Structures are given as structure tokens and as C-alpha cells.
Structure 1
Amino acid sequence: MKLISVIVPIYNVVNEVERCVQSILGSTYKNLEIILVDDGSNDGSSELCDRLLKKDYRIKVIHQENKGLAAARLKGFLESRGGVLSFIDSDDYIDQSMYEEMLKSLEEQNADIVFCDYNSITKNNIVKNAFAESDIKLDRERALKFLADDSLKSFMWNKLYKREVLQEEDFYIGRTMEDLLCMHHIFYRCKSIVYCKGGFYNYVRRASSIMGTKNSIYLYWRAWVERLEWYKNYCPEHYASCLNRVVRVGLTYFEEKNLNMEASDYIQNFFKLNLKDILRNKKLNLHKKLKVLFYINKK
């Protein structure tokens, strides 16, 4: 049985982390190495990790000064031993069959990465997010196509990775939107990526997370612009799809209230500099193009 290293970065989630760890311990696939990386927590999470360590021999705890999510993931990656890796956010939890089903798909299809569906959970609602109707094997080109238009999400956490497709530079220390910055680089190294149908991952959306802040849409847009430059140089056949996504996120930013003037100017300048490509983009409808023209001239 292959060893799966499960890396869980932890920072000030004392009320959620035990649920996360218990869901991993309850996995029907037992050959796990569970690495809890305490990233300088000061709310009792650090002590809770040490108590959880005593519950199961498969758990390993690493304490470090607060360096951020990417640094915690990297520390776990460097300390891990498994030939297959999984990254779980500490306020989320997984289905008990996740690793058994996904590893089976990974091995049967001889793929480099396998990904699954996820459930987006808020206080009052659960939304099931499905990629397709049945299992699919994608070659690198098709996977990058779906990644470019965001139909295949860039989350680190709903995937299993063969160790050899990950590199230290995939962990963008000190940056936000780390998953969006790295996933196209990771996919580019893969020969094939498999979709394993099933909502095995439960993503708990907290208001205090980075995606819940007012500035999050702008940060998200900047990460997409960085990805767009990569597509322009390495995967130009899907540049139009990626540009479509960049424009849509930029327009979403302008529809928010209390805009930051510097951020607004940055997006406006992007629209101006890329106006010819935007207007020629067949993936953008006329309404979106007119919106771009409107916001370019909006003071």
C-alpha cells in the first residue's frame, strides 16, 4: 500500500482543527502519514495539536514561527515521506472514502494528479460543486484548457499528487492566492490528470478567511493576471480563455462598493493596454466588452 502524506497547515483554528484531524483519522485508507504544521498559533491550536499527537501513531506535529500558509505547506512537504501527497486546510474536513477512491483512480489510470468534487459549506448553506457527470482522464493540454477558464479549480486541497510533480518553488511564500499562482506550473509537468467523481472534500467558508475580505477580489484578479502572462508564453492556445477569466474578475471588482483607487486604476490600465485583445476575444460577449469600455472611461 502506498503511503499518503497528508499535510495540514494550522493557524488559530482551535475550534475546527479536531474535526479536520478526526475526519482524516476516520479514512478507510489507513496507510497515512498525517503532518500537522502549527504555524505559530496563539489561540490554543498549538497545544491541541500536541494532544492530538497522542491519539494516533500516524500523526506528526511540527511547530514553527508564523510564516503563512505556503511556508507551512512547504515545511510539511519537505518533512513528508509519502510517494503521494494531500494538502488539507485545517478548518475543512474530508469524507472517509476520499483517499481510498482517489488513490484507486490515480493508480488505475496511471495519472500524476487526481482531483475530486467538493462541497462549499457556509453557516446556512451547502453547495455541491461537481466538475462532470462521470470520471474523466485528461491529458496535460485538456487539463490546462479547463484550468484557463476556471472550470477546473486550482485548489490544492481537493487533489492527490504524485510526489515527483511537486517542487519547492510551487509554494509561494509570502503571497496570497497561492493555489492560483502554482497550479498551472504543476499541471504543466503532468502527463495526465484524472477526475474522480464524488464530493469527498468539504470546504468550510469562513468570513475571516482571505476570500472573505474586501480586498480579496483584487488580489484574486492580480493572481489571474500573473497566470495570464504564463499562458501567453507557454500555452498560447488557451490565452483567450484565460483573458476571458481575467476580464470577468476585473469587472466583478468594479461592481463592488468602496473601491480602492489604486487598485481601480491598475485594472483600468490593464483594460486599456489589452483592449484590442479584449474586443477581439470571441469568448467574451458584447455585454462584457461594453462594460470594459464603460469602466475604462469611468472616473
Structure 2
Amino acid sequence: MPAISIIVPIYNVEKYLHKCVDSILDQTFKDFELILVNDGSPDNCGEICNEYSRKDPRVKVIHKKNGGLSDARNAGIDIAEGDYIGFVDSDDWIEPDMYEILFNMCKTNNCEIGSCTYAIYHQNKRIINESHPLTVHNNKQAMEAMLNDELYNEVVCTKLFKRSLFNGLRFTLGIIHEDTAFTYKAIHKCEKVCFIGVPKYNYIKRDDSIMANTKKNVRIDSVLIYEEMYQFIKNDYPQLCDLVALKLTNCSMLALNLMINSNSSNYKTTYYKVVNIMNNYFFRTIKLKNYPFSVKLLLVATKIHPVFYKLIMDFVTLRNKNSKSA
């Protein structure tokens, strides 16, 4: 049995795939299997996967009908044999010692999840996200740190997961922000989680990515995910409800802003769906001490009418621009 199973979902990334796979095969940690999941890719990715499997016995290949990122990851999980499981997106790459660091952290500290951080590459710029020495938390501490955007993030590709966490747990199909929907449930199942603030994962921010296209075609998956998360947190971590309500409100207002700015009537039903969800948490959010007054004003505007909301939004946006230029 390998110590680690590394799962790579693959779709239409021919020009990135070699760099991704080579960075995994060149790891200083050698005791792993690499599961390449060809998710019905229309380009030459399938044959590239087959070439790697012929050259390296650690490489397994799954060819399947296109079902999306979550479905591809789940297919890899179903055949994974490693004691731990990691994920790498097929247009990214990792540093040579990433899995050696994560595995040793987990084993030394008896943790079910080990996490590092990442560097973002976008338009010839490199943004490093690093901040903290080795830290070990229980699940309550880790959940709070994640919701506070401290140490842990919701991204699965910077993490190594004990395979037992996947018993009864998979990625949700048919949504975006699938990492957000997954990670908090995995943390809940842990006794200990460890983190080190070194950027060992390299993330390419592509203008043609799913997340980039989401801003053009408004979806409210994140709103629904945080609403589900709130109910989960309310039952098991009630002291953290304000943090989830804040995230829920922030992503709701982002979605509303995108809808309003689109000047399209297609979003009318969706707009009111989001507003109705926000209203369920209105009094919890409006009382938050550190929430800006301008945002609270927008919260009130959602209870009146979309036209009034847009007027307030335009006013707040203009005021923010003027204050920055002053």
C-alpha cells in the first residue's frame, strides 16, 4: 500500500498537464500512487495520461465520461489505496518537497489533515501567501481559524487528508466552490489538524477558468453552501455562528452586486432567492460590531427593493472611490 494517493482531475489542460504531472513525479517523497482522472477531456490529455502510466508504475489512469471536478475527484477517491490522500489541479504544479513536508507533519503530530499555503500566479505576477510556523489544532480551533481566514483555507489542494476521513464523505456534484462545501466537514471529523505557512502549492489564476467565468454568469452556489454550513455549525459549534453568518452575507452581497450590475432581468428570481436567505440572518449580521455601516445600509436596502439597493450600492461605491483618491 502506498503512503499517499495523489489525485489529479483532468479536463482540457493539455498545455499545462506535463508541468503538473512532472512536479508530482519529481517529489522528494517517493511512496505514493498518482491517480490521473481523465474526465472526458476533448484534447490530447487522455493519451498524455496513458504515456505516463506506461513510463511509471506509480501512475494509474481513469478514463471516464465528463462529470465535472467533483465527480472526477470522487472517482479517484474510490480507487485510492494510500493512507493519506492529496489533490492537485491539473493546471497547477507543486514544489518538490510539498508532500514530504505534509506527510511528516501529519505523522509526527498524529494529525488527520496537514496543510501548507500557496503562491498565486496571475498576469506575470507572483503573490505569496505565507504567514505562520507549524501549528497544531483540535477540530474546534481549526474550524474557527478557517472561518476567520487565519491559517487554514478552504482549498483542498494545499492539504493532505487521512483516507479514513472519506468514509461517508465525498465532494458534492454539480456545484462550484466544492472545496468550501467539503473542507469544513472534513475538519469536523478530525481530532487534530496541522498547518505550516510555507507556499508549496503553485496556483495559476486563469482568465478562462471556471471561477473566472462564474463572475460573468452569476451563480449562487457559495450562498447555498454557507447557508448549509450555518446549520451545521449551529448544531456543533454554536459559538462560531457569527463567523459563518458574516461569510454568508458577504458572498450574498457579492452575488447581488453582480446581478444588479448585469442590468439583466434574468436574475430577478435568483435575486429574491438570495435576499430571502439573507433575511434569515439579518438580525445576527446587522448587530456585528465590526461590520461597516455602509454594508449594513446595503443590508437594509435588500429588504426594500432592488432599485433602492442599486442606488445605495452606487452611492457606497462612489464614496469608496472618492475616499481612496483623497
User: TM-score under structure 2 normalisation?
Assistant: 0.86
DSSP-derived class of the 2:197 partner? strand
- The answer to whether structure 1 residue 250 and structure 2 residue 252 are counterparts is yes
Higher relative contact order (CA 8 A, sep 6+): 1
Alignment of 1:131-146 (within 5 A): 132-146=131-145
Q: What is aligned with 1:21?
A: 21
Q: What is aligned with 1:266?
A: 273
Gaps of 5+ in 1: none
Q: What is aligned with 2:106?
A: 106
Report the residue type matching 2:112 in the other structure: D
Indicate conservation of the 8 Å contact 1:6/1:87, yes or no.
yes
How far apart in 2 are the matches of 1:171 and 1:248?
23
Alignment of 1:31-180 (within 5 A): 31-130=31-130, 132-151=131-150, 152-180=152-180
Indicate conservation of the 8 Å contact 1:113/1:160, yes or no.
yes
Further displaced range: 213-222 or 35-44 = 213-222
Report the residue type matching 1:178 in the other structure: E
How far apart in 2 are the matches of 1:70 and 1:255?
28
1:233 deviation in Å? Answer: 2.4
Further displaced range: 289-298 or 154-163 = 289-298
Q: What is aligned with 1:12?
A: 12
Indicate conservation of the 8 Å contact 2:9/2:39, yes or no.
yes
- The answer to whether structure 1 residue 289 and structure 2 residue 296 are counterparts is yes
Percent sequence identity is: 28
Report the residue type matching 1:146 in the other structure: A
DSSP-derived class of the 2:14 partner? coil
Q: What is the number of residues matched between the two proteins?
A: 298
Render the CA deviation track for 1:110-129: whole Å, top value 9, x for unaligned.
11100001112223322112
How far apart in 2 are the matches of 1:285 and 1:190?
35
How far apart in 2 are the matches of 1:145 and 1:75?
31
Further displaced range: 208-217 or 185-194 = 208-217
1:186 deviation in Å? Answer: 0.8
Indicate conservation of the 8 Å contact 2:218/2:255, yes or no.
no
Report the residue type matching 1:269 in the other structure: N
Further displaced range: 24-33 or 244-253 = 244-253
Indicate conservation of the 8 Å contact 1:10/1:39, yes or no.
yes
How far apart in 1 are the matches of 2:256 and 2:227?
16
1:30 deviation in Å? Answer: 0.9
Q: What is aligned with 1:192?
A: 192
Structure (1 or 2) with the larger CA radius of gyration:
2
Indicate conservation of the 8 Å contact 2:132/2:196, yes or no.
no
Q: 1:231 to 1:283 in 2, by over 3 A?
A: farther
- Structure 1: 4+ residue segments shifted above 3 A: none
Indicate conservation of the 8 Å contact 2:9/2:89, yes or no.
yes
How far apart in 2 are the matches of 1:133 and 1:253?
32
Gaps of 5+ in 2: 307-326
User: TM-score under structure 1 normalisation?
Assistant: 0.93
